[in-house]
Structure 1
């Protein structure tokens, strides 16, 4: 199945011309910036002027006790428009800093509640946001990578703009994750511009104090600028002074007679001088508001949307495609040149939320769409290890935390390595960074959520993992950690093997099989036996009696984090052949998968038709692809199409759960393309594409072209693969590799139809590298074949 270079050169030549033309088209009309802002997606709809931009400018909304994770809620009052946000996150809000609020008339006490209701729903598009307020003020927003532009229209003068240094996004969860304001300073200069900084802490990653500097100016000179300081709503100082500082609430009020006011603000983690430089460089006074929007549209078209083109004409499908592409390019934040902690020539990225979520689908897709940025992110992860001792699993405001399961930077690095990413990456350092995660126990953070070990970074349960080969109830999230640690160790095996470090490769291959030590053949549920269960902290590490349909609160202190035993048992994909064998063989395993997706099996999940499958959280998301490992690619297609149709849409509630920084959008994008990445390996499972054609620009004149012919309704009916050609040759595997279609470009030509067909060679099995090569040193349990398995 090797395609000749001659054949590729024939079709790659015209593609190079097509890709250039594609980048010149405007596809932002298909982007709904409110996609996923409702229904628990927690997406940020404000201004992000470029992919991964540091500034995310938008509204901060208060509505009772609702958590505004990204600042936005569809209902409630606007408390300010701030420069810093995250998108698609949970746990607790983060940022909402460097805020200002337009107010009709003059302000007597800036510490009073001046929030305003909307007169109409907010509007937004790529690079632009608008709020019309009940106080008669219209606020329009634009920006650049490091600056924000606020255009205020007042019905009459005088009017005011409140700059509140002490403003943050609040949290009502009561778990000690609410953000704190620790102090700040602000100075108004004679020419009317102002500078200052604010220091804040906490949020979802439990960060200690961190500082952001700002610089602001107005295109229209204010009639007055007054600083203030006070406690809660008690005003202590409010006058014509040039400077204020302290740990109490502080800021300034600027008053205008003009009915249109343009405000420009820059932010920096280094200094207010640099923040001012960003205004001069990116948003000078002679740069119009409209041109800022135009620049953002141009960058998004060139850097993102122009890289994925399709012949599709259905507006809903186009909106879904490009809104999802937009949503997965908001985090992490590119803060190269903005690292306040150490001096380095390496790139610097922050706001990883969290690699535990994004490593499965999002980072592999970033590799394809944004190879330069992807390499920079990996270099940043390694540089964080050089200077702090561990790579992050989650990181924000220049601080590692949280770590929910394993150390998934290891898996991200392994995925890049096996796919040939080299560039400026020092892979010896990269492997040493992975070794630090795999061998060094991080200091206990004594977090009230889980006091047993660190929730900041690394692998807190390493003593059990290294000494016993499993994780006991001495540690929280024991089974989740065991599954994740096994996958992380497989990543170390991959890189060690590639670097020729044979002894370490053998060690980590063996450790990647430790998930087997949690397999209890006597655990039963719904007619099936064999599940991953906790183990007691006794001499033998005896199995805990566990209902596979229960995980308690499924949170920090439980053995299973955000997933049932049923779900975690299906996660060791690097060792899938062993999982299938121990489950009773392919036939029984297929029935187990059918039961996993069958409605009515788990009444606690009514929004998912009472299925064990949970569309809202990552531990379930790889399950439909396991059908391919068991020899039924057609059932992978069936289940993924049902998931897409049931739980995803281009609407505001179009994401079934928390986006997790674009993890959910990338999951559906892979379905649209017709492939699925097996992370840490070069394998991509073949699914079924949504569109008649889709072309992905891989850079350097290379592309992946995917076509689908036959069948009429590829979304709901005619989606089964009938045959497949890869690079012009007949294909009989249910997977392709990186080298087949991505390294030099490639082509997938699908023939689709309404009925399942065995188009593949049933003797060819999907790679399961941890299942082969080395002896299985842990005894294989006896699994009785079920006589009456349940089927969908």
Structure 2
């Protein structure tokens, strides 16, 4: 077990339970079982994510944390909940005991007991008996070490430290050189150069500046070449421009308690020093930083959603999910090393392929100011890089798994009224670049060498020539499905901007997924699936087993899932599948145990292409089945505890799916449509900003979403509602109310028109 609430020093952070919603956040939820959540100290959208780096040979620690293994360091930079390959694990410290003769020899330290933590605080103990406590501000971190009485305590700063990857995919990070200088007052500054990681980034540099509140009895800079022994460097300066020479510093102390403050910057050592000294000034106690973190999380994030519910499990799922969805992207405004701009700058986008279906729409609801900034940042990246990212880390675009899904996000923001300081003429130009200009295939991704995986739509030559994608390009089917969705996004924005010719073109192109539809391919008695094709015709696959990865026709889901994906054309999908009854039966089959020929269901809650599926019943008037299917997934596949997620968090994607289930709505990205299912709680209020709110109540249910979940009737803003969907303007634009009456059995309360299918 991990302790989710801790004493910071002598006393618990003093915030009353009535005000402190962080008491419901379990920072270890989803850290194991493939969830890869980051449990360390962080602020909302914070650049610093300070936490442990555990080393187990052969096992990737994607966010640094593992439940076992040895500590290789406690570093300032991590990603949240990702898969693929680790990123960052840079600007590291490691506490050591005794005389250290070879500090740059890849030292690791065993762990004693289990780590513990809460919002803004992390605690671990090494096998040497050193207690390590951590907290963070936005661009700085604070370490407190308590060394065993009478021991010689040391802190190693190893500039070459990164999170390794053992998967053999060529995505492991590399140290490429660095420097460290220890100044006469005892503080140190330096920088490291690194490359690669999941997004295959070229060289990037991070600067750091650190202080200790205790005078070191000794400090020494070191270099080490290859497997050679560490060599002390006189004068307090060590540097290397080669990955073959590691550099670092060792600080020794006689005090049993030592506090370290460290700032980072993408710009310079000076800015790193400014960051730490402005955010965590000299003399700051760790408890003060923790208290500030708790206050910020309460004010900026957790208080956005309040409920009358008192069930501890549900409250933990609610507030922990809110917490993890706000760890990335990183607000790096003022820390852009590549161009000067008055626009906001957000990065650590990991990735829109994971986030566009339901995460970004919830971000707009909960954080409208930040979300507008994120949209502006995407457009500014296009201005200066040439393409908007589908993913971006270490200030570099990549990797693109499917379509140019920033297009979906811009379209969603546009139709839902995001304006403010967004230059939508430039936004549309950025989308057109994605839709019309093939990116250069450099550097070549060996896992998918046919075309660029760094930005844009690299299978455009086929898409523009044929209206489909041949096996010349990897992931041809799943990319075609996504390109169609991307083109629908361009149609939406073109329509709003009065670009009528473009609107017609992109609406027509948004239907081109149909060119991959083989009506004769059957599986489990159902006909019609999206399949690979070339100029000679369709290429059949087995829909039950054709899920794949980078080099395959389908990415991380099968044709069973991708055949439902283009929800902008859902009416036509239903017709192709044989009409309403067959459509329902086909969805039912996806949720039937053993239908795939083995245990389990075809539906796979671990991957984002499945996110929409439980809610598609609304398109054929079976809202009751959307409720029962989605609630079963939410209640069975999501739990509290370290293995509480069905798959990788994927930067909070899993958590936002769960949050929408609690709310009782599901967004259709790129449209103003929200599909209605049913809420968990008797009451929930969402703060929409600018003195607006959405209040959701449910009478007749069990108050926790476990039973009596079926909608009997609904009032929207006090008026009876008969549709199983509503729009942004109905309840979000100016706020509103949803009053549900729930019961134990399904009734036909939805006699209104069905959700729109604009491309149909």
What is the CA-CA distance between 1:120 and the residue it aligns to? 1.2
Q: How does 1:470-489 map to 2 (within 5 A)?
A: 470-489=468-487
Aligned to 1:641, the other structure's residue is in SS state: helix
| Aligned alpha-carbon RMSD (Å) | 1.3
Of residues 538, 545, 551 in structure 1, which corresponds to 2:540?
Answer: 545
Deviations 1:110-150 (A, max 9, x none): 02343222211100100000001110100000111010100
CA contact (8 A) 2:103 2:230 kept: no
Matched, 1:619 2:609: yes
Give the structure 2 partner of residue 456 of structure 1: 454
Give the structure 1 partner of residue 749 of structure 2: 759
Matched, 1:430 2:423: no
Distance 1:400 1:595 in 2: 39
Q: How does 1:196-275 map to 2 (within 5 A)?
A: 196-246=190-240, 247=242, 248-275=245-272
Runs of 4 or more off by more than 4 Å in structure 1? 21-24
Deviations 1:625-670 (A, max 9, x none): 1100011000000000100111001221111001110000000000
Of residues 694, 698, 723 in structure 2, which corresponds to 1:704?
Answer: 694
What is the CA-CA distance between 1:711 and the residue it aligns to? 3.0
Q: How does 1:360-509 map to 2 (within 5 A)?
A: 360-445=357-442, 446-509=444-507
Matched, 1:645 2:635: yes
Deviations 1:445-488 (A, max 9, x none): 32110111000000000011011000111110000001000000
What is the CA-CA distance between 1:290 and the residue it aligns to? 0.8
Give the structure 2 partner of residue 101 of structure 1: 94
Matched, 1:52 2:45: yes
Distance 2:75 2:649 in 1: 21
CA contact (8 A) 1:106 1:255 kept: no
CA contact (8 A) 1:23 1:302 kept: no
Distance 2:153 2:529 in 1: 65
Aligned to 2:322, the other structure's residue is in SS state: helix
Of residues 689, 692, 696 in structure 1, which corresponds to 2:679?
Answer: 689
Aligned to 1:235, the other structure's residue is in SS state: coil
Of residues 579, 600, 617 in structure 2, which corresponds to 1:585?
Answer: 579
Matched, 1:331 2:331: no
Query: In 2 relative to 1, CA 743–24 (structure 1 residues): closer, same or farther, beyond 3 Å?
Result: farther
Give the structure 2 partner of residue 314 of structure 1: 311
In structure 2, stretches of 5+ residues that fail to align are 1-14
Give the structure 2 partner of residue 118 of structure 1: 111
CA contact (8 A) 1:111 1:233 kept: no
Give the structure 2 partner of residue 138 of structure 1: 131
Deviations 1:688-738 (A, max 9, x none): 100110000011111000001103365332100000000000000001100
Deviations 1:279-307 (A, max 9, x none): 21111112211110000000000000111
Give the structure 2 partner of residue 555 of structure 1: 549
Deviations 1:580-621 (A, max 9, x none): 0110000111000011111101246x4xxx211011001111
Of residues 61, 66, 75 in structure 1, which corresponds to 2:68?
Answer: 75
Matched, 1:679 2:650: no
Query: In 2 relative to 1, CA 253–558 (structure 1 residues): closer, same or farther, beyond 3 Å?
Result: same
Of residues 345, 349, 353 in structure 1, which corresponds to 2:350?
Answer: 353
Give the structure 2 partner of residue 783 of structure 1: none
CA contact (8 A) 1:24 1:301 kept: no
Give the structure 2 partner of residue 564 of structure 1: 558
Aligned to 1:459, the other structure's residue is in SS state: coil
What is the CA-CA distance between 1:242 and the residue it aligns to? 1.4
CA contact (8 A) 2:681 2:703 kept: no
CA contact (8 A) 1:23 1:301 kept: no
Distance 2:672 2:741 in 1: 24
Of residues 734, 737, 750 in structure 1, which corresponds to 2:727?
Answer: 737
Deviations 1:346-371 (A, max 9, x none): 00011000001101111000001001
Report the more deviating stretch, 574-583 or 103-112: 103-112
Distance 1:270 1:714 in 2: 48
Distance 1:432 1:135 in 2: 58
Deviations 1:531-554 (A, max 9, x none): 000002x3x4x10022111216x0
Q: How many residues are aligned here?
A: 741
Deviations 1:5-51 (A, max 9, x none): xxxxxxxxxxxxxxxx9998210000000111011001100000x21
Give the structure 2 partner of residue 602 of structure 1: 596
What is the CA-CA distance between 1:315 and the residue it aligns to? 0.5
Query: In 2 relative to 1, CA 713–301 (structure 1 residues): closer, same or farther, beyond 3 Å?
Result: closer
Aligned to 1:253, the other structure's residue is in SS state: strand
Distance 2:374 2:57 in 1: 38
CA contact (8 A) 1:158 1:257 kept: yes
Give the structure 2 partner of residue 779 of structure 1: none
Distance 1:447 1:289 in 2: 44
Give the structure 2 partner of residue 90 of structure 1: 83
Distance 1:143 1:545 in 2: 53
Deviations 1:201-227 (A, max 9, x none): 000000000000000010011011100
Matched, 1:300 2:297: yes
CA contact (8 A) 1:23 1:305 kept: no
Distance 1:489 1:512 in 2: 5
Distance 1:254 1:729 in 2: 69
What is the CA-CA distance between 1:765 and the residue it aligns to? 1.2
What is the CA-CA distance between 1:624 and the residue it aligns to? 0.8
Report the more deviating stretch, 317-326 or 280-289: 280-289
What is the CA-CA distance between 1:104 and the residue it aligns to? 1.4
Aligned to 1:488, the other structure's residue is in SS state: helix
Distance 1:715 1:698 in 2: 23
CA contact (8 A) 1:442 1:460 kept: yes
Aligned to 1:694, the other structure's residue is in SS state: strand
Task: Tell me the TM-score normalised to structure 2 length.
Answer: 0.96
Give the structure 1 partner of residue 710 of structure 2: 720
